[in-house]
Amino acid sequence: MRVIVLGAGVTGITTAYYLTKDGHEVTVIDRKPGAGLETSFANGGIVCRLTASPWASPNVPKMLLKYIFRDDAPYTFRLRPDFRQMMWAIQFLKNCRQSKFEQSKLTALELAEYSFLELEKLRSSEDIEYDQRAEGMIELYKDERSLELANKSAKTLPDKKYHPQMLSIQETIDIEPALTNKDSQYKGALFYSGEETGDAYKFTSLLAERTQQLGAKFCYGENVDRIIINNFHASGIATNKDQYAADAIVVSLGSFSSGLLRQCGIKLPIFPLKGYSITIPIEGQNTAPTHGVHDISRRVVFSRLGNRLRCAGTAELTGFDLSINKKRIDLLTEDAQRVFPDCTSSGSPEPWAGLRPMTPDCLPIIGESRIKNLYLNTGHGSTGWTWSCGSARAISDIINGNFPDINISGLDPERFN
Ligand SMILES: Cc1cc2nc3c(=O)[nH]c(=O)nc-3n(C[C@H](O)[C@H](O)[C@H](O)COP(=O)(O)OP(=O)(O)OC[C@H]3O[C@@H](n4cnc5c(N)ncnc54)[C@H](O)[C@@H]3O)c2cc1C
């Protein structure tokens, strides 16, 4: 089949890879000059195999109220007079109910585990070096009560592989000496030994090269303007430069998926949730961390990517604006200096902002749309790096006419209607 994949982020590229391996004639189209240059470029780097969790959780409404009007808020909703954004925010808050959160969390974890196994398979067949580390992740807590509650909550999951190890602050430092800090405010941590970290951009761009070697065609620098539909069948796409015919089309345009699909009468509640990162050079610093680290109170993650330390966080519902708010970057820099004072003071941080393509239940949308031959693999929100291989394997199976190896009924495009 001739398959067109729209979008060359980590979601589109993994999709193109599996489809090409499955024998399809694949064309990838992206407006950027290469792969992985938007949201997949400088994310937190955590492959959350054991900690994938929807952001719509019972403590979020309280947090939004607590930080309202504060510049240092981990999450900020700046609602504009936009009906669709308003509806999205209401749906998001509805998904914060305990019962809904627990259900979405199980779906998130199942997809994360499946995705991790697919990533492992991909690594064993392709030679892709992306500063990967498999040393686990440390979740830091500033007070004992929150630590104990989080430990108790993690242990309610029936499968023991999701149960973390609870550590005192000294035990945490024994595992990760880079956390040694006489002014540390942390009381302890949860340790998830099965987590990994890695550079999503390196992975995406190298996998794109490999997919091209396998025979896929890449059209960079082309903006997708329209999906061509006849009698409820998608038959091709029009870009600012050309038209392309196809037997199947996969939409993986991140936060821009819903705009294009609206033209075809498909309403998807995907909104951009802006986040920031800084990348700090740590060459020659032997006090840099090797584990993934998550400061729960600040909602900030750290990952070691070769000779760099990535620090990422914050969520702003502010539309499609990608400008960099200096205050946010200063806060991330302060976070990095507070947690890792020894290795972050000399290098100058590289700032970045990206738009997480977020659905109200914080789960991706995977499946065929109401329009025949038009498939969706999008809306991966805060966990797209983690879920990329599993989502891509699943949509490729669907296009091949097979049932995916994972139950994706909770990810169906129709669930919001
Ligand atoms: C601060 C931050 C930290 C994060 N940390 C983590 C983490 O630690 N772990 C994790 O698992 N996930 C993390 N994520 C989430 C993850 O980065 C995203 O879910 C993922 O990158 C989404 O990939 P995507 O391919 O769907 O979208 P994108 O990477 O945005 O790709 C979409 C592509 O579509 C193209 N495009 C859009 N519209 C058009 C058009 N009209 N025509 C042509 N091309 C178009 C764009 O150029 C882009 O290349 C984080 C995100 C952010 C912002």
Dist. CA 4–CA 9, nearest whole Å: 14
Helix (H, G, I), strand (E, B) or coil at 250: strand
Q: Which residues pair with 27 in a beta bridge?
A: 4, 217
Q: What is the dihedral of CA 180, 75, 50, 385, to 10 degrees?
A: -100
pLDDT tens-place string over residues 235-249:
999 999 999 999 999
Tokens of 46: 């955590």
Using the mean position of ligand 1's atoms as its centre, give its distance from the Cα of residue 298 in Å. Answer: 22
What's the pLDDT at 83?
Answer: 86
CA of 356 to the centre of ligand 1 (A): 6
Task: Return the residue whose CA atom lies nearest to atom 14 of ligand 1.
Answer: 382
Mutate-to-test residue for ligand 1 from 304, 382, 388, 389, highest number of ligand atoms within 8 A of CB: 382
pLDDT (0 to 100) of residue 69:
66
**At the fourth CATH level, which superfamily is domain 2-41+202-267+362-416?**
FAD/NAD(P)-binding domain (3.50.50.60)
Question: What is the rounded CA–CA span in Å between residue 31 and residue 9?
Answer: 11
pLDDT of 398 above 70:
yes
Atom of ligand 1 nearest to the CA of 352: 1
Q: What is the pLDDT of residue 317?
A: 87
> What pLDDT does residue 261 have?
97
Q: Give me the mean pLDDT over the 5-14 stretch.
A: 98
- CB of 383 within 6 A of ligand 1: the answer is yes
Per the CB < 8 A criterion, the answer to whether 366 and 39 are in contact is no
Q: How far is the CA of 38 from the centre of ligand 1 (A)?
A: 6
CATH superfamily, region 50-98+132-195+271-358 = D-Amino Acid Oxidase, subunit A, domain 2 (3.30.9.10)
Ligand 1 atom nearest residue 12's Cα: 25
Residue spans of the domains in the chain: they are 2-41+202-267+362-416, 50-98+132-195+271-358
pLDDT attached to residue 105 = 96
- Residue 305 in contact with residue 43, Cβ under 8 Å? no
- How far is the centre of ligand 1, averaged over its atoms, from the C-alpha of 13 (Å)? 11
Q: Is 361 in the pocket of ligand 1 (CB under 6 A)?
A: no
Are 54 and 382 in contact by the 8 Å Cβ rule? The answer is no
| Helix locations, 22-82, DSSP H | 60-66
Task: Give the ligand 1 atom nearest the CA of 276.
Answer: 1
pLDDT band of 185, cuts 50, 70, 90: confident
Parallel/antiparallel/unpaired status of strands 233-239 and 224-230: antiparallel
**Residue 319 CB contacts under 8 Å (≥ 6 apart), including other chains:** 80, 82, 85, 272
Q: Tell me, what's the pLDDT at 72? A: 74
Ligand 1 center from residue 73 Cα (angstroms): 22
Q: Which of 5, 14, 39, 352 has the most ligand 1 atoms within 8 A of CB, as the residue to mutate?
A: 39
- The residue-averaged pLDDT of 373-399 equals 98
Residue 7, ligand 1, Cβ within 6 A: yes
Tokens 């040694």 correspond to 180
| Cα–Cα distance measured from residue 28 to residue 41, given in angstroms and rounded to the nearest whole number | 18
Which amino acid appears at position 384 of this protein? G
Place of tokens 């009560």: 145
pLDDT band for 68, please (50, 70, 90 cuts): low
Q: How far apart are CA 177 and CA 171, in angstroms?
A: 10
Distance 37 CA to ligand 1 centre (A): 8
Q: Does 80 have pLDDT greater than 80?
A: no
Q: If pLDDT is split at 50, 70 and 90, which confidence band does 77 have?
A: confident
List the structure tokens of 164. Answer: 């973390």
Q: Which residues contact 266 (CB under 8 A, 6 or more apart)?
A: 369, 370, 371, 374, 413
Is the pLDDT at 394 greater than 90? The verdict is yes
For the chain, what's the residue count?
417
Secondary structure (3-state) at 85: helix
Indicate the Cα dihedral angle 150, 153, 118, 107, nearest 10°. Answer: -130
Quote the percentage of the chain above a pLDDT of 90: 86
Say what the pTM is: 0.96
pLDDT at 285 over 80: no
Q: Which of 63-77, 263-277, 328-342 comes out lowest in average pLDDT?
A: 63-77
Across the chain, mean pLDDT equals 94
Ligand 1 pocket residue status of 382, Cβ below 6 Å: yes
Amino acid 145: pLDDT: 95
What percentage of the chain exceeds 70 in pLDDT?
Answer: 99
Residue 64 has what pLDDT? 78
Q: Is the pLDDT of residue 325 over 80?
A: yes
Q: What is the pLDDT of residue 352?
A: 98
| Closest ligand 1 atom number to CA of residue 52 | 11
Q: Say how many Å lie between the first and final Cα of the chain, rounded.
A: 30
Q: pLDDT of 95-154, one tens digit each?
A: 999 999 999 999 999 999 999 999 999 999 999 999 999 999 999 999 999 999 999 999
Same fold, 2-41+202-267+362-416 and 50-98+132-195+271-358: no
Which pair of tokens denotes residue 189? 């941590």
Residue 295 CB partners (closer than 8 Å, separation 6+)? 140, 301, 302, 335, 339
Q: Give dist(CA 175, CA 75) in Å, integer.
A: 30
Q: Read off the pLDDT of residues 198-225 as tens digits, 9 standing for 90 and up.
A: 999 999 999 999 999 999 999 999 999 9
